[in-house]
Amino acid sequence: MPVRRTPIRRTHEYVITTDSGEDIVFTIRNPTVADVISESNHGSMLEYVLGENNRVVATRREMRFGDMQMDRVVSRLVSWNLVDEQGNPIPVTRENIETYLTPEEFRLLAEHIAESGE
């Protein structure tokens, strides 16, 4: 019979070199089953349009891809080496991700997280 231990939350580092040549080091947590389920459910809506005799005449599915990307980054980003102008560490929060990362840095990070897990 297979013996299971409590899984170790493994992490890995991902580095983005900025245009100014500085490295941003991100520590990424590998996904859990709960993460996979949440990401699968996030932002999807299935809508049925009924016609005569309650027959389905159309369906529409809506995915909020940007929100899904941000939620995935927020849930999996453990730390980074960003500091403010006074040298204080900047906490990893949704607001700080939006404030301190460039769109390109966010895109690269989100793509890496999406590709590095499941």
Averaged over 66-91, what is the pLDDT?
92
Instruction: Specify the pLDDT at position 118.
Output: 44
More confident residue, 108 or 10: 108
Cα(92)–Cα(74) distance, rounded to whole angstroms? 8
Asked if pLDDT for residue 96 goes beyond 80, the answer is yes
Cα(39)–Cα(116) distance, rounded to whole angstroms? 14
Residue 73 and residue 97 in contact, taking contact as beta carbons nearer than 8 Å: yes
Instruction: Specify the pLDDT at position 49.
Output: 72
Domain range summary for the chain, segments of one domain joined by +? 11-115
Instruction: Specify the pLDDT at position 59.
Output: 64
Q: What is the pLDDT of residues 25-76, one digit of tens each?
A: 999 988 877 777 777 766 566 666 777 777 766 666 666 777 888 988 998 9
Residue 56 and residue 48 in contact, taking contact as beta carbons nearer than 8 Å: yes
Least confident of 7-11, 32-36, 59-63, 81-85: 59-63
Instruction: Specify the pLDDT at position 45.
Output: 63
